[in-house]
Amino acid sequence: MTVLAGSLPAAHPKAAGLTSDSPLIAAYEGRTPSHKPVWFMRQAGRSLPEYLVAREGTAMLDACLTPELASEITLQPVRRYGVDAAIFFSDIVVPMKIAGVGVQIAPGVGPVFDRPIRSMADVEALPDLGAPADRGEFDSGLDLIRQAVAMTVAELGTTPLIGFAGAPFTLAAYMVEGKPSRDHLAARELMFTAPDVWDALTIWTATAAGLFLRAQVMAGASAVQLFDSWAGSLSVEDYVAHCAPGSALALNHVADLPVPRVHFAASGGHLLPAMADAGATVLGVDYRTPLDEANTVLGGRFPLQGNINPARLPAPADVLEAHVADVLRRGSEAPGHVVNLGHGVPPHTNPDSLQRIVDYVHDNG
């Protein structure tokens, strides 16, 4: 697999030294941070009253592709909570949208595609992302992402921005189903009945995700996270054969750049060693696998991120704090630990619960 050759622009926050010694980057790189860093997956979104005001009257994908609005939403939880990182506000289907694929976020449903992918002809009809000269519409769309990132890092100062993309398996699964699914059976069936079609589709989704990540990094993101919603449905054998190559290809798009690469898979505790082999430098751990066990499985080789159980967020303060303390204790065994949830913030979460976690981690981490 060819590694791209490149370096960060001189004005990049990490290259310029603004974020290189931040608690987040220090922990991601296995160094000792000034304090234990904490941020939350889906911290920018429906749980914040200010988000609902900002998004009012604007469709989800339109919000993601409006630089001023995407930047504002990204910054909101940093202002409110004092978290140690911003996560770029986006959606996993944004790379497909800007490439020209027909997709929308249906309220109460999720991503819905105009044309599900079921054959090689369907894959071949997708926009060409191969050579730079063939990426006209896609690269033009990425300019909106670059603008949003640049606006955001200008406001963040020493707080790092994390670039975000959905993992190729999850993207491909949505594209095969054409809409959200409980079990993604059609996608998993395609893996075995038409492996050439599946492989071609995951190469396309990996390229889209990888270019999306690289655009965010070159515009100012100091780390990236690849988020896999559905890989946990696979056995280790099937993950290695049909999923890991796509994740590796996506992460390879930023492997030449000096930024941490986080990989997270929901329900993916059994996949952690295989995920590590796909090119991540930090492993996200969901709430089902204790961090000390994850560290043991990984041989103590990787900084970890996680893994507060989102279902405990409404619990009484003493119950929640006891759980956070346990996560801190278990995470301390890893070479580095960034506190996070073991999945995303539920939309009905009381912001006070997240503030309680941030304060507790900063005081006791």
Active site residues: 42, 46, 55, 91, 174
Cα–Cα distance, 197 to 202 (Å, whole number): 9
Cα(236)–Cα(259) distance, integer angstroms: 27
Distances (CA, A) of 310 to 94, 207, 313, 365: 25, 31, 6, 19
Alpha carbons 46 and 58: distance in angstroms, whole number: 13
Q: Of 78, 84, 103, whose CA–CA distance to 92 is shortest?
A: 103
Cβ atoms within 10 Å of 277's Cβ, excluding its own: 12
71 and 107 Cβ atoms separated by less than 8 Å: no
Instruction: Say how many C-beta atoms besides its own lie within 10 A of residue 194's C-beta.
Output: 16
142 vs 148: CA distance, rounded Å: 10
30, containing H or E segment = none
Task: Report DSSP state, residue 289.
Answer: S
| Measured torsion, CA atoms of residues 349, 183, 210, 29, in degrees rounded to the nearest 10 | 50
248: Cα separation from own chain's centroid: 14
Q: Which residues pair with 327 in a beta bridge?
A: none
- Phi, psi torsion values for 291, nearest 5 degrees: -65, -35
Q: What phi and psi values does residue 198 have, to the nearest 5 degrees?
A: -60, -45
Distance CA(92)–CA(359), nearest Å, equals 30
d(CA 149, CA 147): 5
Alpha carbons 142 and 7: distance in angstroms, whole number: 19
Residue type, 190: L
Q: Which position has the token pair 């002809």?
A: 121
